[in-house]
Amino acid sequence: MNNQNKEKIGIKFATLIGVILFLMIPIMFIADLIDERSAIQQQVQQEIAKSSSDEQRLIGPFLYIEYEREVTRNQETKTIKNKAFVLPDTLKIHSKLDTFEKYRSIYKATLYRSINTISGEFSVSHLNDLEADKVLSVNLVFGIQDIRGIGLDSVLKVADKEVDMLPGTLLTSIKEGVHAPIAVSALSKATLSFSADLHLQGMMRLAVSPLGSETHVSMTANWPHPSFEGEYLPLSSDIGDEAFTARWQASYFSTNMQSIFTGCVMRNECTELMHRTMGVALVDPVDHYLKSHRAINYALLVILLVMASFFLLELVRSEPIHPVQYGFVGITLAIFYLLLISLSEHLGFGVAYLISTLSATGLLGWYVAGVLNSAKLGVYFSIGLTMLYSLLYSMLGAEDYALLMGSLMCFIVLSLVMLLTRKVNWYGSTQHAESKTTRENEHG
């Protein structure tokens, strides 16, 4: 056995491991840079929300009634103030969203203008017994998460009569919104109908609380990448290349809304009410920070595969490659991610990925051709690396199958490496291999 050659291969392996571990330092710095830039974008989105309007959540409408009643205790009669809340029997909401973007420097936020057509009716027959002179006020109330987004052309009708909307909800538990005073005589009927066209501007999300005993909600938007959120998924949805439509339905059997709403307005326990929603988030499909972060998660795998390929080329060509040259190859692989994040901020992720891939594969192909004195090997190396980056790009676009694709890729690459190296004499001694074969034949 040639101990000197054996030791050289061992030292080479140890050196390669050291180079790979060293390359993890710039990779970690670039990953931190991606997180930092992503945090800046979120901060800019929050600043845009502060200067325009934030996410919107619609609660209502509901009736808020203040009245007096007499209570006799210990032969003493007192008049106390009381309040009652009535949720709609039926509630229908159709929201049409028109999206647009706002920019600040190189960062952007997705906003929308929505027309919310709302209709339904209240059952107020149980309030007929209230004496008119005991009723202090009747108000129809909408809770709106960010009241700055409401448009001046919003219209509200009660019993087919247009009423004026005033700012505020008159409540401490649901502070943001509008209310409309209603004549006390409206409670003398069995039902009270309402309709409204609420014009709301918001950012990224729109949610609705299903207050009705029977609630029907539908949404349409010129946005092809919705993410349906809340505690109720849509009954049906149609997502096209340029728009989507979705439809929800809920009843008081599934929402327990009367109890939840009472807990909010009476005891100020509103957490569950705020989460009991159905709605949509307008997801940005070209979030280059998210995709860049996913890409850099595969950096170690890419470096291992490229270094292994480089090492195999060294064995095949029997030409020693210095560890510094391995380092240059690894640094180029790390610079790929830096190019990707910096270019994607200006050109978009797809174009940035293409330019970064061509730059990295072109440079490494030229470098390998010079190191190994073979233009042919340089071309093959570039083609192989291009295929690797192409597969990685496919994995980034297939979230649900990324793990499966990555596992299959690792298995296939390992199989190829084992196939190509099955006859390599790792001891570096031809005589040792021949004598071993001879002994095996003799025993056979």
Instruction: Summarize pLDDT for 357-390 with one digit per residue, the tens.
Output: 999 999 999 998 888 888 888 888 899 889 888 8
Please state the rounded mean pLDDT for residues 98-118: 88
Please state the rounded mean pLDDT for residues 324-342: 90
* Topology of the domain comprising 54-285: Immunoglobulin-like (2.60.40)
Q: Residues spanned by CATH 2.60.40 within the chain?
A: 54-285
Question: Is the pLDDT score of 255 beyond 90?
Answer: no
- Answer with the residue of higher pLDDT: 431 or 316: 316
What distance in Å separates the CA atoms of residue 362 and residue 370, rounded to the nearest whole number?
13
Question: What are the two backbone dihedrals, phi and then psi, of residue 233, each rounded to the nearest 5 degrees?
Answer: -80, 155
What pLDDT is stored for residue 436 in this prediction? 47
Query: What pTM does this model have?
Result: 0.74
Nearest-5° angle of CA 368, CA 335, CA 347? Answer: 115
- Ranges of beta strands (E only) in 283-427 are none
Specify whether the CB–CB gap between 171 and 273 falls below 8 A.
no
What tens digit of pLDDT does each residue of 137-166 get? 899 999 999 999 998 889 999 988 999 999
pLDDT bin (cut points 50, 70, 90) of residue 5 is low
pLDDT bin (cut points 50, 70, 90) of residue 133 is low
What distance in Å separates the CA atoms of residue 62 and residue 175, rounded to the nearest whole number?
14
Counting Cα atoms < 13 Å in the Cβ hemisphere of 26 gives 17
Specify whether the CB–CB gap between 149 and 190 falls below 8 A.
no
